[in-house]
Structure 1
Amino acid sequence: MSTATIAGAGSPSQSSNIGIQDFLKILTAQLNNQDPLKPVDNEQFVAQIAQFATLEQSRQLNEKIDNMLLVQSSTQSIGLLGKTVDANVNGVTVTGRVSALALDSGQPLLTVTTAAGQSTEGITLSQVANIR
């Protein structure tokens, strides 16, 4: 199994499509259909299992990091309540106090109220350019 194939199997679009059960089915099919005169080399066999185990661990680690980042962004956004921020909304800079916080699928969305009393909702943390 080539390294390019392993890397492709771990791409975000495919990571949820293949699991340990799928790997075991492929492995069983490979063993059942191998040429009896040229069996799979033990080292190659063990290397394939190790590569898949590493791939699975990487996928699980990525999921845990994504979850941790969601929690961190939620915690960070709570600290913005009452602070004055500059946010880039559709190419326009909005300056005001963070007056409310909402969560949409774990993603924090801020409501910024300007000095004139105008509220802008649905501002993500990535849109915040400056915090005072």
Structure 2
Amino acid sequence: MPIDAIGQVAGTETINEQSSVNLDEFMRIFITQLNYQDPLDPVDNREFITQLAEFSNLELSRATQTDIADLLEVNAVSQSLGLLGKTVEVSGSDSAVVGSVSSIRFVQGSPLLSIVTSSNEIIPNLSPSEIRVITE
């Protein structure tokens, strides 16, 4: 049974910080809009409340996205640690290699496994997505 990659989901990228507006910038824009509105035709209060609510929802969505990314990283660490000592089958370039997971290291939050084969050969830097079968 093949397993999916452990770690960050492919294709998910963080929001570009330059294109986002933080709370201070939003409030500056909001105050500027109030200062320069037409006194004879002021903007409806409901529009301002709607804008604040939309910004609030956007901030909540960003915080949720960050929390989910952190949760995925913790999950990847947990799943990777669970592989320690397990016998795994890894698909190699020529044939499948069977060995025991001996160590795990993390590079930029992504787990890399080292396995030891029955002939004591060490195969380092394997991504968990390369594992095809896990046995006890």
TM-score by length of 2: 0.74
Query: Unaligned stretches of 5+ in structure 2?
Result: 1-12
Match of residue 14 from structure 2:
12
Query: Unaligned stretches of 5+ in structure 1?
Result: 1-10
Identity over aligned pairs, percent: 36
Query: 1:63 deviation in Å?
Result: 0.8
Task: Kindly indicate whether residue 47 of structure 2 is the aligned counterpart of residue 44 of structure 1.
Answer: yes
Q: 1:28 to 1:92 in 2, by over 3 A?
A: farther
Find 1:98's aligned residue among 85, 98, 101: 101
Q: 1:15 to 1:56 in 2, by over 3 A?
A: farther
Please, what is the CA RMSD of the aligned residues?
A: 2.5
Q: How many residues are aligned here?
A: 122
Q: 1:105 to 1:15 in 2, by over 3 A?
A: same
Task: For 2:42 and 2:91, locate their aligned partners in 1 and report how far apart those are by CA, in whole Å.
Answer: 61
> Matches of residues 73-88 of structure 1 in structure 2 within 5 Å?
73-88=76-91
TM-score by length of 1: 0.76
Measured against aligned partners, the alpha-carbon deviations of 1:36-91 in whole angstroms (never above 9, x if no partner) come to: 22222211111111111011011111111111111111111111011122335679
Task: For 1:15 and 1:92, locate their aligned partners in 2 and report how far apart those are by CA, in whole Å.
Answer: 44
Pick 1 or 2: higher relative contact order, CA cutoff 8 A, min separation 6: 2
Task: For 1:30 and 1:78, locate their aligned partners in 2 and report how far apart those are by CA, in whole Å.
Answer: 53
